[in-house]
Structure 1
Amino acid sequence: MTSSPIWHPFTQHALEPSMRSIRGADGAWLEASDGQRIFDGVSSWWVITHGHRHPKIIAAIEKQAATLDQIIFAGFTHEPAEAVATGLMKIAPRGLSHVFFSDSGSTSVEVALKMALGYWKNIGKARTRILALEHGYHGDTIGTMSAGARGVFNAAYEPLLFEVGRIPYPKPHHAQPTFDALEIACRRGDVAAFICEPLILGAGGMLIYDADTLREMRRICKAHDVLFIADEVMTCFGRTGTVFACEQAGISPDILCVAKGLTGGSLPLAVTLCISPIYDAHFSTDRARTFFHSSSYTANPIACAAAAANLEIWQTEPVIERILALSQSQALCLNELETDPRFTNLRQLGTITAFELAEVPPGYLADVALKLRARLLERGVLLRPLGSTIYVMPPYCTTKDELTFAYRAVSDAVDEVMA
């Protein structure tokens, strides 16, 4: 345990005064400074895909760092960025044709919102309203907080946020209210874009909806000329069982946000992909129509080298087979909880499983989350329950035995906490 002047994210230091020191990682495991091995059941906040320190990614980082570490991306380009853009064009949903680099999931969504608003302004149409799916979470910058659900995450910052139209979450087997609300909102004629997390709402509680619902929401937006933004920051690169979640619905968004697993989880990098008309609306001899967005580290060469190596891994290694194996192991572990009265609403999407504690009221601030995290760490498992919602999202290299170990730790920790 360490105590330092660092202010940690999503941490109430009055309740968690000391942070665990980690000195190493390999595969699906972390190594604490005291020597304890900890199973990374949340892929280090959903970013690690193949496993920690994949040798091809590490080698690419080392090679790139020895030649070009950083260059301003306005007026310049470099081979790693070109390789990433070219590679993404080969696997991205059809119709996406341009790639804009940024450095985090939040900024990739912020870029998407600005692209949408810039598109309508530059073609001379007064469309400024954003629609978003209820319970969504899109990041912690001002635009992304505005698009995300209002609540404890952003209540203090309400004066900074802009109004967004809320579309009801599509409940399983009862999505018609979602379709009706989206249809009515789009008919107003002032909607610039609709944003959603395809198939699963992450921080909102690992809420899952089906591919048919995603397909119908896309159809409604297209019918009313509303730009469709798919926030695949979490779902990209295999989490849901396919490279992109949109594939399962057979749809192509107008704008696609990608981050987290883009580099295999090794370095921060994000991209926002868009269709040609959005790029063309900004393409002009009039400099006032420039897309005004950047960060100092846009398309950092070292991060791009890691992403290029990740794309190569997807082409040369049996990643989908590993994902399928992990998904099957997850299903087996989840099945063993089916008759356990302590757990309810068991669900799975690809490599992700989630369930609730039956006797605990819902809510992100439920005290049980902190207690469970502490007990799980004692048992060598890193999980971060969302209030009473427990989820397991491990790296793709995870074995059946490692999963069994993690689920056994969950069972034991719940027994101790609920007692």
Structure 2
Amino acid sequence: MVVFLVTTYFEQLAAIDKAHLWHPFTQMKDYNNSGPLIIERSEGIMLFDVHGRAYYDGFSSVWLNVHGHNVPELNQAITDQLGRVAHSTLLGMANVPAIELAEKLVEIAPQGLTKVFYSDSGATGVEIAIKMAFQYWHNRGIRGKTKFITMNQAYHGDTIGAVSVGAIPLYHDVFRPMLFPSHVIPYPYAYRHEGGEAEAMEATLAALRNLLETQADQLAALIVEPIVQGAGGIIVMPSGCLREMAALCRKHNVLLIADEVATGFGRTGAMFACDLEDVSPDLMVIGKGLTGGYLPVAATLATDEIYDAFYADYEEQKTFFHGHSFTGNPLGCAVALASLKLFAERNIVEGVKAKASFVEQKLAALKARPHVGDIRQKGLMIGIELVRNKTSREPYDWEERIGVRTSLRARELGMLTRPLGNVIVFIPPLVSTEAELDEMTHILSESIISITEGGSVTCPK
């Protein structure tokens, strides 16, 4: 039996945390050997720990916070809905906020996405899209189209179907014996390609074209993170690539699934990343920013064509047998409606474009630093790749934990973020002011220079 001697409130919480709480994407031996960060309250884009110390939320609490924390309008929407009903199932019935939110989502979604199927996280939304795509062809009597195409280093969530269309070895390889196989095509890593964007894009399109021309009769859908590949390292597609991929899928009668969980709701400078290239997918998954970062609500949007393949007499058994206990939760849908209202009232998406330009200028000086290999950005999604040798692009060994150490240094300086290997992620809340972005980028630069170049180096603002 483990005995903890507790003297303070923090020590009590830390002891319980270490004794009972298993954290996601966290090596618990490392975690339990360190002093935990325990958040107690929030204000604006700041989070405060139990000691009262303030931190900028430099990664939007895992990429989902839009309007900041503790927003009066969002708080009120939940309070008002609590006075009506906290939860009512969507199985065979409906509720007011779920209906109203579905209408709003269709209004702002890419053209043709007219049906909304709710879930509770991005991963479950992806599961739904995969199952819909598979059953769509089945319901149409086309039984051979059962395979999926994904992209190298893709991440679509951690449930079994989502992992099956994932392609990040560190996250996914151990589970391969459990999964269905997917075709993996190269992602257009322009910054690694000697020929630059044009050749990287053509290599991707050539691989997709070859697969579609030879195996389209077996392929149900291509799933893609549009414009920006998130967990793979904040990799930005060359301009026009998504549009060409969509056209190829349409030509060969293969569905396109757009995973907008990370890129949706203004993050890339458009309401959805697909809007940047006027792409209308057959299925689109949204989550994270849907409720402004408040409650776990996700959705899978589909076209009428997809929906109609399931719309049949009871005896035909074409029903989509899938659902979640909290599907269309009224509290979550109410706060999502309030969030979308703030988007419109405060012109959030247009504001992202100006703020993105400001951040790009602030980080420009980092490009000259000896261990900054690349700065990748679309809107307010930024990844800064750290390398041992800038000329040869030799990476740091993973054992050096360069990304972890840099993020911990940022925490010491008052900003929270979480790295993707040696890529430092900067994904601030969309409402961050220029003054706040100025301070956060300063902390980011200071942290990178301090860790990669040694010592305490002051980076001028």
TM bucket normalised to smaller: over 0.9
Residues 373-392 of structure 1 mapped to structure 2, 5 A cutoff: 373-392=407-426
The aligned counterpart of 2:28 is 13
1:408 to 442, 454, 458: 442
Report the TM-score, using the length of structure 1 for normalisation: 0.96
Question: Quick one: structure 1 residues 203 and 363, their matched pair in 2 at CA, closer, same or farther if it must change by over 3 Å?
Answer: farther
Shift of 1:11: 0.5
Instruction: Look up the equivalent residue of 1:292 and give its one-letter code.
Output: F
Q: Say if 1:241 and 1:350, in contact at 8 Å, map to a contact too.
A: yes
1:88 to 81, 87, 105: 105
The aligned counterpart of 1:218 is 246
Larger Rg belongs to = 2
Q: SS in structure 2 opposite 1:387?
A: coil
Report the TM-score, using the length of structure 2 for normalisation: 0.88
The reply to whether residue 117 of structure 1 matches residue 134 of structure 2 is yes
Instruction: Look up the equivalent residue of 1:254 and give its one-letter code.
Output: D
Which structure 1 residue ranges, 5 or more long, are not aligned?
A: none
**Higher helix proportion, which one?**
2
2:162 to 130, 144, 167: 144
Shift of 1:338: 2.6
Shift of 1:86: 0.4
Q: Give deviations 1:143-165, integer Å, cap 9, x for gaps.
A: 00010114111222221111000
Distance in 2, matches of 1:366 and 1:231, equals: 32
Question: Quick one: structure 1 residues 131 and 276, their matched pair in 2 at CA, closer, same or farther if it must change by over 3 Å?
Answer: same
Distance in 1, matches of 2:447 and 2:350, equals: 32
Root-mean-square deviation over aligned CA pairs? 1.6
Instruction: Look up the equivalent residue of 1:257 and give its one-letter code.
Output: V
Q: Give deviations 1:237-280, integer Å, cap 9, x for gaps.
A: 00100000001111100000000000111111000001111111
Shift of 1:101: 0.3
Identity %: 38
Q: Answer 1 or 2: higher relative contact order, Cα 8 Å, separation at least 6.
A: 1
Shift of 1:193: 0.2
1:303 to 293, 311, 332: 332
Q: Give deviations 1:196-221, integer Å, cap 9, x for gaps.
A: 00001000010111340000000000
Q: Say if 2:269 and 2:350, in contact at 8 Å, map to a contact too.
A: no
Q: SS in structure 2 opposite 1:97?
A: strand
1:167 to 182, 185, 200: 185
Shift of 1:63: 0.6
Q: SS in structure 1 opposite 2:88?
A: coil
The aligned counterpart of 2:58 is 41
Q: Say if 2:41 and 2:48, in contact at 8 Å, map to a contact too.
A: yes
Instruction: Look up the equivalent residue of 1:387 and give its one-letter code.
Output: G
- Of the structure 1 ranges 340-349 and 71-80, higher mean CA displacement relative to structure 2 is found in 340-349
Residues 289-368 of structure 1 mapped to structure 2, 5 A cutoff: 289-359=318-388, 361=395, 367-368=401-402
Q: Give deviations 1:122-144, integer Å, cap 9, x for gaps.
A: 10112001001111100000000
Q: Say if 1:362 and 1:387, in contact at 8 Å, map to a contact too.
A: no
**Paired residues, number:** 419
Q: SS in structure 1 opposite 2:81?
A: helix
Q: Say if 1:334 and 1:353, in contact at 8 Å, map to a contact too.
A: no
The aligned counterpart of 2:303 is 275
Distance in 1, matches of 2:138 and 2:267, equals: 35
Q: Say if 2:283 and 2:303, in contact at 8 Å, map to a contact too.
A: yes
- Of the structure 1 ranges 344-353 and 269-278, higher mean CA displacement relative to structure 2 is found in 344-353
2:210 to 184, 187, 195: 184
Q: SS in structure 2 opposite 1:15?
A: helix
Distance in 1, matches of 2:159 and 2:398, equals: 20
